[in-house]
Amino acid sequence: MKKKLLLILVLTLALFSCKSLRTNLIKEQKAQEIASKVQGLNFTFEATNVQSMIFRQISLSPDFTLKVSKDTLKAYLPYFGRAYTAPTNSTDGGIQFTSTDFEHQLVPGKKPGQWKFTFKTLDTRNPITMYLEIWDNGSSQLIVNDPDRQTITFDGYVKD
């Protein structure tokens, strides 16, 4: 009876350790994939939540993105908050632009597997500054500063 119990205990521990090793391997592969995209400046940030300075946190549909490539920034994000000037075109809601003239800076974060980007558009009506922080599991936070609006923060993740 004791031998059977000991055998079951050993097999259970072996099963859990194999699962733990597999999970760690998947996490490492994901981290390498994210690092490659970030350092290659070719990724899409997908916003899942938004929080402005005057509204509570709001969940978003999966269609709101910031696409980053070496030569283009393309933003399609909502805006909730106070605008200091009204848009000249009534269809200009949200944070929507395509910029091909922008500055960017990539700085490693305080911890390994963390990156901090700063983007500043030079060809939009007003220069928009964005701070994007990315962790090795793909989770991200984007802060958008527009001189015509209050700051807004997006939580999300990096995908393809």
Query: Which residue carries 């949200």 as its tokens?
Result: 94
Cβ-Cβ contacts under 8 Å for 159 (sequence gap 6 or more):
43, 44, 46, 138
Classify residue 121 as left (phi > 0), alpha (psi -120 to 50) or beta: beta
pLDDT in tens, 95-144: 899 999 999 998 888 888 889 999 999 988 889 999 999 998 889 999 99
Q: What pTM was computed for the model?
A: 0.80
Q: Name the domain count of the chain.
A: 1
Query: What CATH number is given to the structural domain containing 139?
Result: 2.40.128.410
Q: For residue range 4-56, what is the model confidence (pLDDT) as tens digits?
A: 666 666 656 555 555 555 677 777 777 788 888 888 889 999 999 999 877 78
Q: How far is CA 157 from CA 16, 44, 46, 48, in A?
A: 29, 8, 6, 8
b/e for 47-63, b at 16 or more Cβ within 10 A? beebebeeeeeeebeee
For 124, the domain range is 3-159
